[in-house]
């Protein structure tokens, strides 16, 4: 059966979810897809990249995506991010436009967001895999319940966290977040189809940093250096 190799801290915290019936069914589904020779994104080594870069005890911000990019070379395990050398997709371009409007940051030349993840920004997709050229192909196979468990773990943290939720799907995903302790910011999705309906001008990045600073935490450095490693 397909191994779920999570970092040790997340592995321990998610031990119940890892043996849940839905997760076992998901692993069987992924086995069958791989055995059938289907191309799955991101590569298996990157399925849990968001958890590897952002340990549970360091999560300060959560940005929820839906499922990975389904084009060749795009998905690498972080929501909205693409590897170095890959052109930023339209939704990420709009995120950069809002960053520029909100914080005055110049638009990065790449779409590689690991710099954010390493500061405690959990870039989590609801569904962690997808079949090539078939958006949503792995939805309703068990990933959603698994990532619900991740969101619940973050909500249960004693330290305040910022949830940046873009689009109705993300809003529903974090419906059970404890708003008495955490900051939940909601806006339209940054997709070109909806960004003008409330994403542009939402000022989530400045609100996020103001909340973190007010609670004694350093702000996120949202700049993305041109040189990526």
Cα–Cα distance for residue pair 206/51, rounded to 1 Å: 25
Contact 189, 183 (CB under 8 A): no
Q: Is 102 a catalytic residue?
A: no
- The string over 78-99, giving b where at least 16 C-beta atoms fall within 10 Å of a residue's C-beta and e elsewhere, is bbbbbbeebebbebbebbbebb
Count Cβ atoms within 10 A of the Cβ of residue 181 and give its class: 0-12 exposed, 13-18 middle, 19 or more buried. Answer: middle
Tell whether the torsion through CA atoms of 121, 122, 126 and 130 is positive or negative.
Answer: positive
- How many C-alpha atoms does 173 have within 13 Å on its Cβ side? 30
Contact 101, 107 (CB under 8 A): no
Neighbours of 126 (CB within 10 A): 21
- Residue pointed to by tokens 């799907």: 169
Give me the catalytic one of 9, 22, 67, 148.
67
Q: Could you give the residue numbers annotated as active site?
A: 67
């Amino acid at each position: 059966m397909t191994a779920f190799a999570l970092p040790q801290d997340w592995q321990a915290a998610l031990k119940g979810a890892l043996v849940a019936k839905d997760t076992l069914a998901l692993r069987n589904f992924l086995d069958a897809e791989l055995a059938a020779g289907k191309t799955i994104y991101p590569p298996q080594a990157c399925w849990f990249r968001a958890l590897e870069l952002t340990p549970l005890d360091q999560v300060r911000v959560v940005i929820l995506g839906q499922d990975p990019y389904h084009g060749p070379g795009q998905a690498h395990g972080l929501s909205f991010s693409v590897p170095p050398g890959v052109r930023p997709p339209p939704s990420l371009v709009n995120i950069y436009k809002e960053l520029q409007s909100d914080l005055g940051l110049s638009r990065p030349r790449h779409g590689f967001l690991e710099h954010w993840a390493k500061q405690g920004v959990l870039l989590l997709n609801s569904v962690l895999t997808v079949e090539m050229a078939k958006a949503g192909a792995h939805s309703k196979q068990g990933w959603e319940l698994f990532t619900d468990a991740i969101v619940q773990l973050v909500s249960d943290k004693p330290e305040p966290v910022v949830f940046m939720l873009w689009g109705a799907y993300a809003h529903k995903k974090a419906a059970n977040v404890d708003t008495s302790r955490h900051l939940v910011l909601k806006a339209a999705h940054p997709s070109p189809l909806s960004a003008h309906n409330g994403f542009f001008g939402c000022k989530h990045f400045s609100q996020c940093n103001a909340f973190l600073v007010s609670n004694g935490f350093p702000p996120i450095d949202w700049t993305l250096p041109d040189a990526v490693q």
